[in-house]
């Protein structure tokens, strides 16, 4: 085996003398310098580092819809705030005021609460019924109160009072099938003009209360109408004006009877007709409203609305005495410019409402507008 060639500089223990450089070192140094110069040139020619782009964004978050005021015809104030807080509280599951949807019952009076009662709308229809009745029985034109009602004197009708108006409505409907009577009401509502405002009859529905009905329904309330007017007048009106199911209408009732008439020559399958008798069975006002609500609904309402001058105090008081949170609302007619000021002597009722913690909706202070459109001759 050949031994490797060893130079003196490679011998172990040998140290090169000072000032003497090996041939390998002499070559390595220039090469190293040249390499560093090349690296520097190469690095200088590289483009500057670019910023790392952010990761692609996902789909844009939808913008939150602007909050919509559910009661735009109500002015900001304690009454509006109280309504909104109550409705939110009873419909927020897990909250301290939560009420199950099956128990969210709201009951509203009609005349003076949901619509103007100047005059009572059932009285306007009564005048039309009297005219139809006199066409069939001309002798009634000389009898009172028919003679004065034929003149269209609605102030006279107001003085008759709610109960007598309802009794007269029963008398003028004698023998009419219930379906026919309610069809007459629908036809009347479609064409009737309001005697004071001059426009369509439905123009006198209160816009703020329409909004309140809509809000309650949106939050799971079942809305009922409970009024002293005839139930046969209220059913078509409630469905047309307020979207309230006729099955959820409680009103004054006439006595009725079922008539069976067999076709000539065939008595095996007689036709049956439910007809009105000329007698008032129940006048649904004052304490009777509570009796009717208990009998028809079977639950105590947690929201009850009436008006200061009507027979609604018992209904509101009863609704307050349940175990659930509740809300009582009284409409105060104190705006002579946009509607009427008919509650000037209501101090005792307002004092009682304040004592019991009921809420009062002042037309003058709480309502931005009273009707969907101002009535002719009325202020904005």
Q: Dump pLDDT digits (tens) for 116-140.
A: 998 889 989 988 888 888 888 888 8
pLDDT given for residue 66 in this prediction: 62
Burial class (CB in 10 A: 0-12, 13-18, 19+), 225: buried
How far apart, in whole angstroms, are the C-alpha atoms of residue 63 and residue 100? 32
Most confident by average pLDDT, 24-38, 199-213, 365-379? 199-213
pLDDT given for residue 65 in this prediction: 59
What's the whole-number mean pLDDT along residues 216-235? 97
pLDDT given for residue 285 in this prediction: 95
Averaged confidence pLDDT in the chain: 84
Q: Is the pLDDT of residue 5 over 90?
A: no
pLDDT given for residue 14 in this prediction: 43
Q: Is the pLDDT of residue 244 over 90?
A: yes
pLDDT given for residue 10 in this prediction: 44
Q: Is the pLDDT of residue 35 over 50?
A: no
What's the whole-number mean pLDDT along residues 207-213? 98
What's the whole-number mean pLDDT along residues 43-68? 54
Place of tokens 């009662």: 117
Helix H segments across 220-285? 231-237
Place of tokens 């009172």: 144
H/E stretch holding 191 reads helix 178-191
Name every residue whose Cβ is closer than 8 Å to that of residue 175 and which is 6 or more positions away in sequence.
275, 276
- 55 vs 72, residue with greater confidence: 72
pLDDT given for residue 270 in this prediction: 83
What's the whole-number mean pLDDT along residues 212-225? 98
How far apart, in whole angstroms, are the C-alpha atoms of residue 60 and residue 178? 59
Rounded to two decimals, the pTM is 0.80
Of 375, 282, 287, give the one whose Cα is nearest residue 337.
375
* Full strand arrangement of the beta sheet holding 222-230: 266-282, 249-263, 222-230, 105-108, 303-307, 327-332, 359-362
| Token pair for 110 | 């009609």
Name every residue whose Cβ is closer than 8 Å to that of residue 214 and which is 6 or more positions away in sequence.
70
CA 73 to each of CA 70, 91, 131, 207, 373: distance values in angstroms, whole numbers, following the listed order? 9, 22, 38, 7, 11
pLDDT given for residue 377 in this prediction: 62
- At residue 222, what are phi and psi to the nearest 5 degrees? -95, 125
What's the whole-number mean pLDDT along residues 227-253? 96
pLDDT given for residue 345 in this prediction: 66
- Asked if the peptide bond before residue 145 counts as cis, ω within 30 degrees of 0, the response is yes
Q: Tell me the three state secondary structure of residue 200.
A: strand
- 325 vs 147, residue with greater confidence: 325
pLDDT given for residue 342 in this prediction: 78
pLDDT given for residue 233 in this prediction: 96
Of 302, 234, 354, give the one whose Cα is nearest residue 362.
354
Of 102, 112, 108, 125, give the one whose Cα is nearest residue 249.
108
How far apart, in whole angstroms, are the C-alpha atoms of residue 203 and residue 379? 15
pLDDT given for residue 36 in this prediction: 38
Instruction: Give the pLDDT band (50/70/90) at residue 11.
Output: very low
* Domains of the chain with CATH codes: 78-118+202-366 (3.40.50.1000)
pLDDT given for residue 261 in this prediction: 82
What's the whole-number mean pLDDT along residues 29-58? 44
Q: Is the pLDDT of residue 15 over 50?
A: no
Instruction: Give the pLDDT band (50/70/90) at residue 297.
Output: very high
Q: How many CB atoms lie within 10 A of CB 320?
A: 17
pLDDT given for residue 277 in this prediction: 94
């Amino acid at each position: 085996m050949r031994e490797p060639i060893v130079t003196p500089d490679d011998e172990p223990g040998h140290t090169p003398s000072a000032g003497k450089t090996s041939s390998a070192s002499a070559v390595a140094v220039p090469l190293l310098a040249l390499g560093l110069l090349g690296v520097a040139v190469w690095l200088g020619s590289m483009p500057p580092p670019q910023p790392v782009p952010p990761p692609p964004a996902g789909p844009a978050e939808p913008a939150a819809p602007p909050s919509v005021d559910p009661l735009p015809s109500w002015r900001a104030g304690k009454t509006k705030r109280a309504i909104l807080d109550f409705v939110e509280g009873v419909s927020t599951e897990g909250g301290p005021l939560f009420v199950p949807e099956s128990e969210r019952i709201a009951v509203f009076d009609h005349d003076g609460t949901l619509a103007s009662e100047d005059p009572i709308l059932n009285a306007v229809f009564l005048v039309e019924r009297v005219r139809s009745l006199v066409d069939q029985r001309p002798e009634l034109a000389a009898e009172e109160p028919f003679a004065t009602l034929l003149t269209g004197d609605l102030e006279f009708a107001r003085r008759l009072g709610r109960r007598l108006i309802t009794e007269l409505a029963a008398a003028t409907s004698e023998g009419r099938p219930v379906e026919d009577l309610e069809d007459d009401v629908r036809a009347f509502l479609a064409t009737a003009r309001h005697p004071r405002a001059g426009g369509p009859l439905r123009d006198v529905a209160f816009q703020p209360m329409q909004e309140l009905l809509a809000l309650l329904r949106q939050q799971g309330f079942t809305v009922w109408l409970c009024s002293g007017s005839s139930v046969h007048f209220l059913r078509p009106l409630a469905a047309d004006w307020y979207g309230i199911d006729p099955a959820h209408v409680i009103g004054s009732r006439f006595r009725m009877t079922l008539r069976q008439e067999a076709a000539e020559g065939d008595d095996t399958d007689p036709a049956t007709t439910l007809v009105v008798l000329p007698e008032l069975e129940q006048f649904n006002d004052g304490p009777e409203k509570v009796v009717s609500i208990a009998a028809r609904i079977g639950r105590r309402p947690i929201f009850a609305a009436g008006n200061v001058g009507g027979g609604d105090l018992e209904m509101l008081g009863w609704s307050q005495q349940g175990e659930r949170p509740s809300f009582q609302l009284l409409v105060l007619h104190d705006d002579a410019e946009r509607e009427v000021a008919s509650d000037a002597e209501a101090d005792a009722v307002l004092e009682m409402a304040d004592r019991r913690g009921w809420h009062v909706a002042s037309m003058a202070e709480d309502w931005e507008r009273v009707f969907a459109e101002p009535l002719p001759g009325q202020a904005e």
